[in-house]
Amino acid sequence: MLLSPGSATQNLKSNSSIWSKFKKKTNEWDGGGQSQQPAPMMGMMGGGMMGGGMMGGGTMGMGGGMMGGAVMRQRFLTLVHGDMETIKLMPNTYAEAEAMAREWVRPPPEAMTDAPPPPPEEEPPPPPPPVLEMPATFNLELNPGQIVALETSCSSDDLDMSRTDEGALVAGMFWGKLEIIHDGDTHQMEFTGTRKDESLPGEFFFDQRVMTKLSVAAKPTTARCMIYMSSPEVQYADIILSLHAVWKFGVTYPPPEPMTDHKVKFFVRVHPGGALEDITNQTVVSSLYYEAMPDTAAFNPSSYISPYNGFAMPVGDFIPHLSRVLDSLGLSLQTRTHFIATNIQAFTNHRNIAYRFMSPSRLTAAIDISVSMESCAFIRLFLLFKGVSDEEMEEFAGSGEKEAASFDWGDTVGFTEAIRDPQHNRVIETSIMDCT
């Protein structure tokens, strides 16, 4: 923006713009001593410019002339835009000058421009019509090999069967439970299930064989426990198991005598070679077996394994490592071989294994055991393990195979050398639970 050249100074009003805020130096123009140059625009004295003045009106002097005093020059603003140019009076503020420039360059409403008009906004496509009726086919296996087909139709008066209230599409393959009720005049059908993300072949049929496999795979988290006993001479013993309220018994062998919902009793005759004669069932076994299942809604067993109390390693390293640990804790060759062989399928289902042994105090709070034998050497080995991914292995960077090899689990489980002595009454319990 430029100031225009000087123009006529007559008929100018006093300007109260920002430029009037500048003060004159004390030695210039008036009141500060003799100026070195004449004051600009000083009025003419005596008879000058009487009547009509310059620029159509002039300034009337007192007593026939212009009285002395500084008259500020009127300032102009030159606006240039492309080939256009104009001169405007200088506004009082910068904001007013900017607004004046924007208004000047704005084309009139009727002006034609070369810019293409903005494309019209596309209207969203209309929602699909609601699905109020659709056919349905159910292939049902009433008994193994006996299959019936039900062809029917599903209808609704006003509810869309294809979408939820939020607009999500209801489609795909669902696995779950279909309940059909025919009770007197009550005939209804109800399905509860979940959608499967994986694609299955079109000829896939959910039959009794698949259901059996799923029931095995969906078995709840279970601790599988075995009790071994030996004595230097034949003697009778009671073994009483008590579970905490958040645990319950599963399969047991031989069947024990139930005492309460959370307590059972085995009554056996112990032989020197390790054979156990179950008096109630007239059965001879090498160990007593029972299962204990926790309520996973009350606590998460997987949270009991962490880098602070356990170790993790590839499954190929874990199995020989576990054999060495069991050997150091007093298990015989036969017992530790049986333990690993029984659970090797569960181990090899995972690429990496994280594990720990529970301490006797923590174990007793969940599963308590009492044996009516005097001077008994007792050890309970409860192995918790879970599969971990390669990414999760980074959390066990300081708790790997090297650290596990130098760790002594004997202090944790309360191992004593008496457990190796065949001259003692001995009870060895081995338990394992997959917390994956």
Q: For 183-203, write each residue's pLDDT tens digit.
A: 888 988 888 888 776 666 656
* Residue 300, pLDDT above cutoff 60: yes
The pairing of strands 376-388 and 425-434 is parallel
pLDDT confidence tier of residue 48, bands split at 50, 70 and 90 = very low
What's residue 106's pLDDT?
Answer: 82
User: What per-residue confidence (pLDDT) applies to 150?
Assistant: 86
Q: Which residue has the tokens 């926790």?
A: 294
Reply yes or no on whether the pLDDT at 434 is more than 70. yes
Average pLDDT over residues 288-294: 95
Which is more confidently placed, 326 or 128? Answer: 326
Lowest-pLDDT range of 57-71, 254-268, 289-303, 368-382: 57-71
Lowest-pLDDT choice from 198-212, 278-292, 330-344: 198-212
pLDDT of residue 60: 37
Q: Per-residue confidence at 91, pLDDT binned at 50, 70, 90?
A: confident
Output the pTM of the full model.
Answer: 0.56
DSSP bridge pairs for 240: 265, 370
Mean pLDDT of 322-329: 96
* Separation between Cα atoms, residue 302 and residue 387, nearest integer Å: 10
Nearest of 349, 335, 344 to residue 387 by alpha carbon = 349
pLDDT at residue 387 greater than cutoff 90: yes
